[in-house]
């Protein structure tokens, strides 16, 4: 999984410790040209923001003032379509009912302010048609609009001689949100109950998954803390959740803090306080949200009926759950393999390999000799071979011999040193300062930046 880069945090962390000016802007302390401002009463309760009134008027091909009273037939018909995997902007417009030729003309015009190839899965396109006088069906295509990013909306409007385009920018404010809490059942449930967004939680869990067994390593009474960036509009409504700046788990009394850092080469990762990347050679679990149903060791075999060595770990997952490569490597075997059913084995280096069994199918392109990256989908779980039900059987092999996957320890993927380590340590000081200066009030708190604690 690749994490998106944040311009805000590159400013924040690439250069290490950045001097703070004395002036304040937008209610926060100045950090070069970025400031974190206080949130409104409870923006967590708000949904995605509606367009601001001035933006709405510019985006509409039929602006209506407060004093106007128009017949309902003059109001346009709007259709909202969302991009699915593989969709192009042309696909969406045709799906919404726009003639292909008109759709192509509109996209060509829109290209002046927006690259159609930047369309992302889930992104919404608003398509507008003129309402016919008899109010039956829809009239001619009039316009399309897209929220290109949290601070910018683009549109193309049909005119008498072609299409005109518009770009409207919305003011957004960068803030820090700070949460902590005690884990009662699971990290996900406890953090969500405190108001941590699911997207932030998923990133946090992925970052810790190299070191934490989320099935057996989390106990009631353990604690979590996270601080992340978010963008809000001038009304205080959340526009977008940003990157995690800091996260920490306290498990059985041991605290594990991690920090997001972008190095001088522009590469980002999460590091512990020693400057060691949290990424390891192998993931702790190759499937998301899985429960361990059978560990490594002697057990009564559920089919054979006698005690037998279980040389891997079983994860209970539904048929078709994506199975990820636990680490970078080369496909060593892919296909049916006796009692294992459909089976994939990856060679990671001269000594280490991982194996994945009982698969329903192997992903397209996965074949012997193929190089795969950590986190890449290589197959889908199933119940092929000698299996009583759908699950993933996962093995780690050292020198060709299966070992307990939960006991294998690997060094971090990268360790900072020299001037890079010094910059990282300065960035830690800054992040820790924000944590101290950010009071925890309900679900959100303002983060004030600066070298001196707020009064």
Residue 37's pLDDT is: 46
* Residue 200 φ then ψ, to 5°: -70, -40
Contact predicate 435/224, CB 8 Å? no
Residue 151's pLDDT is: 75
Residue 303's pLDDT is: 52
To the question of domain 1-50+172-280+412-455 being in CATH 3.10.450.350, the answer is: yes
Residue 412's pLDDT is: 57
Q: Which residues of 110-124 are buried (b: 16+ CB within 10 A; e: fewer)?
A: beebbeeeebeeebe
CB atoms within 10 A of CB 266: 9
End-to-end, the C-alpha distance of the chain in Å comes to 41
Per residue of the chain (455 residues), give pLDDT as tens. Answer: 444 444 334 333 333 322 222 222 222 222 222 445 444 333 333 333 333 333 333 333 333 334 334 444 457 888 898 888 788 999 999 988 999 999 999 999 999 899 988 888 888 899 999 887 777 667 889 999 998 877 788 999 999 889 999 988 877 787 888 899 999 888 888 888 888 888 888 889 888 877 887 766 788 999 999 999 888 877 777 778 888 999 999 999 999 999 999 988 888 889 999 998 888 778 777 887 556 766 555 544 455 444 555 678 888 888 988 999 988 899 999 999 998 999 999 998 888 899 999 999 999 999 999 999 888 999 999 999 988 888 899 999 888 888 887 766 665 567 899 999 999 999 999 888 888 876 664 443 333 333 332 33
How wide is the angle at C-alpha 436 spanned by C-alphas 432 and 439, nearest 5°? 135
pTM of the predicted model as reported, rounded to 2 decimal places: 0.53
Residue 309's pLDDT is: 59
Sole residue written with tokens 């590469």? 267
Q: What's the sign of the alpha-carbon dihedral 347, 353, 354, 358?
A: positive
Q: Which residue ranges make up each domain of the chain?
A: 1-50+172-280+412-455, 53-169, 291-407
CB atoms within 10 A of CB 40: 14
Contact predicate 284/354, CB 8 Å? no
Residue 434's pLDDT is: 84
**DSSP state for residue 79 in the 8-state scheme:** E
Contact predicate 386/369, CB 8 Å? no
One fold for both 1-50+172-280+412-455 and 291-407?
A: no
Residue 61's pLDDT is: 36
Class of the CATH-defined domain 53-169: alpha beta
Residue 413's pLDDT is: 64
β-bridge partners, 377: 324
CA 11 → CA 14, 59, 238, 264, 429, distances in Å? 6, 32, 22, 11, 15
Q: Per CATH, which fold does 291-407 belong to?
A: Glucose Permease (Domain IIA) (2.70.70)
């Amino acid at each position: 999984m690749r994490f998106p880069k944040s311009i805000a945090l590159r400013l924040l962390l690439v250069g290490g410790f950045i001097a703070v000016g004395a002036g304040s802007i937008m209610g926060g302390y100045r950090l070069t040209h970025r400031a974190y401002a206080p949130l409104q009463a409870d923006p967590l309760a708000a949904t995605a923001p509606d367009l601001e009134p001035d933006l709405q008027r510019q985006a509409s091909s039929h602006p209506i003032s407060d004093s106007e009273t128009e017949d309902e037939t003059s109001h346009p018909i709007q259709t909202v379509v969302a991009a699915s995997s593989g969709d192009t902007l042309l696909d969406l417009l045709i799906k919404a009912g726009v003639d292909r030729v008109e759709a192509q003309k509109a996209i060509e015009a829109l290209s002046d302010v927006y690259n159609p190839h930047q369309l992302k899965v889930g992104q919404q396109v608003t398509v507008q048609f003129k309402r016919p006088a008899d109010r039956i069906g829809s009239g001619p295509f009039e316009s399309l609009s897209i929220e290109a990013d949290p601070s910018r909306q683009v549109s193309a409007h049909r005119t008498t001689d072609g299409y005109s385009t518009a770009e409207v920018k919305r003011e957004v404010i960068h803030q820090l949100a700070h949460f902590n809490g005690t884990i009662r059942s699971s990290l996900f449930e406890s953090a969500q109950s405190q108001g941590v967004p699911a997207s932030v939680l998923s990133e946090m869990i992925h970052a810790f998954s190299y070191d934490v067994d989320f099935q057996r390593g989390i106990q009631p009474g353990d604690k979590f803390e996270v601080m992340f960036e978010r963008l809000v509009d001038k009304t205080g409504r959340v526009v977008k959740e940003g990157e995690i700046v800091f996260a920490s788990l306290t498990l059985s009394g041991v605290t594990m803090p991690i920090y997001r850092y972008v190095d001088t080469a522009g590469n980002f990762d999460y590091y512990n306080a020693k400057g060691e990347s949290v990424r390891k050679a192998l993931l702790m679990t190759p499937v998301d949200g899985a429960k361990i149903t059978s560990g490594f060791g002697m057990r009564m075999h559920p089919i054979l009926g006698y005690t037998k060595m279980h040389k891997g770990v079983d994860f209970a997952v539904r048929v078709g759950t994506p199975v990820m490569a636990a680490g970078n490597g080369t496909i060593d075997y892919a296909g049916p393999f006796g009692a294992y059913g459909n089976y994939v084995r990856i060679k990671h280096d001269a000594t280490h390999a991982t194996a994945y069994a009982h698969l329903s199918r192997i992903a397209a392109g996965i074949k012997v000799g193929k190089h795969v990256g950590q986190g890449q989908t290589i197959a889908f779980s199933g119940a092929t071979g000698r299996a009583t039900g759908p699950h993933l059987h996962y093995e780690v092999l050292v020198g060709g011999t299966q070992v307990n996957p939960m006991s294998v320890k690997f060094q971090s993927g990268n360790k900072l040193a020299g001037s890079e380590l010094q910059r990282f340590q300065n960035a830690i000081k800054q992040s820790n300062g924000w944590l101290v200066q950010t009071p925890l009030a309900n679900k959100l708190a303002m983060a004030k930046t600066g070298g001196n604690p707020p009064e």
